[in-house]
Amino acid sequence: MKNLLTIFLTLLFALTASAQKHIRLFLGDREINPHSVHYLDPKGIDAIKFAVGASAKKELNIDAASGDSVFVIEMKDRTGQINYDQVLEMYNVDSVVKKFAMTSGSDGMSGYEAIQHPKTLVFHKSRLAGITVDKPPVSSARPNPMIVVMHIYNRAYKSAEGRILHYLQGAVNGYGDNEHFKMYKP
């Protein structure tokens, strides 16, 4: 618990510091898409390790640039974890829609930018709320439809691991200095 408190306080500082702009997320020794934080189950987390920049090599054995914030999530249970292709298959997404770019959403809201490299995402079945297709108006700057993989909204996080995931979600979405993110800080 002391380790989680230290990470939590460090994270509180790191996400508000302007130098920490690039988040790298690892699940064990495998680097995964940072947007995976929306879809991980905090109940399965055993530990979250954190380091910034060059200290990541010493503390986590990971090469990182000076502006990188590196998080390593150790899971005690990976049951229920699936990849992007399995999510599309689970929801019977047809071959035409599978070619669309992907974004995330919750509570019926979407509109985030397309997530780069969705095949590097990790999902937990318990965090999925469904899939929709966002078809923007013709006048939109983004005329192409996108797959929206809906996640269960995160207000219910009570554990320290869940609160850390909440901070990471805000950081990944760029809410660090945004009033919307600040009002949801635990």
pLDDT at res. 185: 40
Confidence at 117, pLDDT banded by 50, 70, 90: very high
From 55-69, 83-97, 123-137, 139-153, the region with the lowest mean pLDDT: 139-153
Look at residues 154, 185, 179, 180 and name the one whose alpha carbon lies nearest to residue 167. Answer: 185
Distance CA 148, CA 125 (A): 15
**Residue 66 predicted with pLDDT over 80:** yes
What pLDDT shows up at residue 165?
Answer: 78
Report the C-alpha gap between 121 and 84 in whole angstroms. Answer: 6
pLDDT at position 21 is 58
pLDDT band at 83 (very low <50, low <70, confident <90, very high): very high
pLDDT at position 36: 92
What pLDDT, on the 0 to 100 scale, is given for residue 157?
Answer: 64
Q: Which of 50, 46, 48, 47 is nearest to 60 (CA)?
A: 50
In the chain, the percentage of residues whose pLDDT exceeds 90 is 22
Q: 20, 27, 43, 23: which is closest to 120 by C-alpha? A: 27
Query: With bands split at pLDDT 50, 70 and 90, how would you rate the model's confidence at 118?
Result: very high
| pLDDT band (50, 70, 90) for residue 123 | very high
Count of C-beta atoms within a 10 Å radius of residue 122: 21
* Mean pLDDT over the full length of the chain: 78
Most distant CA atoms of the chain, gap in Å: 52
**Can you tell me the mean pLDDT for 103-119?**
77
18 against 71, higher pLDDT = 71
